Amino acid sequence: MLSKNLTGMFMFLGPILAVIMIIIEQAYGRGLDSSFAEQLKAMSDNYALATISSVGFSIAVLTIFIGFYGLARSMQGENKPGSDLAGLASIFAILIAGIYMVSLGLELMATEKASEWTEQGGDAITAFSISEAITRSIFVLDSLVMLFLGIAILIQKNMSKVVGGLFTLFGICVLFGGIFSEGDNWAGMLWFIGFLGFPIITCVTGFITLRQARKNS
């Protein structure tokens, strides 16, 4: 089981690193509203920065969800209310970390200008689009991690009800917003609220966990 210090540090620093990597992506011209072909060209033309941002963002994702795993595991136990929900959250958190590594591999392979894969006939845009599809599918699992962990916190009362409530709320926003989203409709706005809320509440939870660890030491 991870220590509270490490869990808190991962949850606090992970979202910050992710935001920095997104800023780097925007700096070299990878617009998320651009087509896959345009994004791939921008990344191939700025291969060093693209690799740094892709690998850095992947480290951020791993850091965040290992932190989630540590927090959820600390909430498990025979006599702990909400233990089963925390257990489910920990399983989905580890799944996300593993799945994202597959997405990273495809992305790096697609953006490399002279890779063996493309030289042997592999299509870079296809690989990149599959990578993006995998990344977007992760939001379903992410919503379940937030939802299960949030409810577990509310039941176990190991943290503020506000933290548990916000995790639950943002989990619902991402889950149902993603299911019913059609562009800029109400569901799209719901998803966007959950998307913005996720890194904020994760960072706050990391800070609270760090304070708890120092208080208990």
pLDDT in tens, 82-125: 999 999 999 999 999 999 999 988 888 887 765 566 667 678 88
Residue 69's closest CA among 10, 5, 16, 12? 10
Residues of the chain with pLDDT under 70: 31-32, 113-119, 121, 181-184
pTM summary value: 0.89
For the chain, what are the domain ranges? 4-216
